Amino acid sequence: MAKHSAAGINLSAFGIERRPMLALAKEEGEGVVSVRLGPMASFGGKIKLMDPLDDLFARWRKDLLELPRPIAVDVPLDLQGLGARGESRFIWELTHRPMDFAFYQDAPLTDRIGAFTVRFQELLGRSQFTPGKDFIEVSPLACTEFFDFRGIYKGGRAHQGKGGTWKADDSTVSADKAFTKIAQELGINIENTAEGKLDSGDFDAVICALTALALAKGVHTVTGGELKNVIAERTARRMKMEPEEFNRLEAPRACHALAQPYWQAVLITRV
């Protein structure tokens, strides 16, 4: 039987100190998933506003075409009419999609991530890539919520000692402690370093790849109507209103989240 593979990229890291990371996930059998993790070179470096779009998109497209499908990214593929809605009732609806508000995610069209989102949307519009088939949107925050993890792991850093136990880089930092717990309980291991280091950006790329692999394998993911209901419930809770008030909210197209881990161990190799 052929072993499935898929890719994940934490494109939300675009424009910060580190370039986005590419995770290539492959099922190895007996509940083990291997992941090759390294920088996504074509999304690094400086981009000037005067640079030709065709040159930029040719560079991006070349590397994306070499990846296994589906490719999961943690930026919006469906903006759901953001910025052009006529029926908004609350201020958050002007800047956030329902998914973003429900899971406390960044606003898609503000600051650094907004600049990348519109460029990536334009790339998809000029290409033969099909959202939902070639690309899916993944929310690592939503996945960890479905895994019943509590605490904010964003910005967290941890390292794995020789005995396999994960430790926070700084035990006084709450994000480091939350991230350490996630790495330990999800069975994540770093294979090719004496003391493996991992941070939340690496983790987001890995979760994207694991979600894409689930889709390739036919493993259940939360999407469509099921995700719509979760969004309504979480939005109502945050707004302190009844869920029926938010029945009109829709889940983004081609957006998936893992309902639960489907692996026993994840073996990460840095490349």
- Per-10-residue mean pLDDT of the chain, 271 residues long, equals 88 72 95 95 80 91 94 93 78 92 89 78 90 95 93 93 89 95 94 79 97 96 97 96 93 97 96 89
Tell which residue, 186, 199, 255, 260, has the closest CA to residue 33.
Answer: 186
Q: Which domain holds residue 31?
A: 5-270
Indicate the helix (H) or strand (E) that contains 181.
Answer: helix 174-185
Tell which residue, 181, 221, 219, has the closest CA to residue 203.
Answer: 181
The pTM assigned to this predicted structure is 0.93
Domain count, the chain: 1
Q: What six digits make up the tokens of 198? A: 């991992």
pLDDT value, residue 249 = 93
Q: What six digits make up the tokens of 20? A: 């986005």
What are φ and ψ of residue 143, in 5° steps?
Answer: -60, -45
Give the separation between CA 152 and CA 93, rounded to whole angstroms.
Answer: 23
Give the separation between CA 95 and CA 250, rounded to whole angstroms.
Answer: 16
CB 257 within 8 Å of CB 226: no
Give the separation between CA 145 and CA 154, rounded to whole angstroms.
Answer: 13
Tell which residue, 5, 138, 25, 7, has the closest CA to residue 71.
Answer: 7
pLDDT value, residue 182 = 95
pLDDT value, residue 17 = 55
Indicate the helix (H) or strand (E) that contains 36.
Answer: strand 32-39
Give the separation between CA 217 and CA 6, rounded to whole angstroms.
Answer: 10
Tell which residue, 245, 239, 149, 242, has the closest CA to residue 203.
Answer: 149
Task: Calculate ∠ Cα 143-144-146, nearest 5°.
Answer: 65
**DSSP conformation class of 4:** P
- Sorted by sequence, the CB contacts under 8 Å of residue 78 that are 6+ apart come out as 131, 137, 252, 253, 254, 255
pLDDT value, residue 187 = 95
pLDDT value, residue 115 = 75
pLDDT value, residue 1 = 56
pLDDT value, residue 172 = 94
pLDDT value, residue 245 = 94
pLDDT value, residue 194 = 56
Tell which residue, 115, 59, 75, 32, has the closest CA to residue 208.
Answer: 75
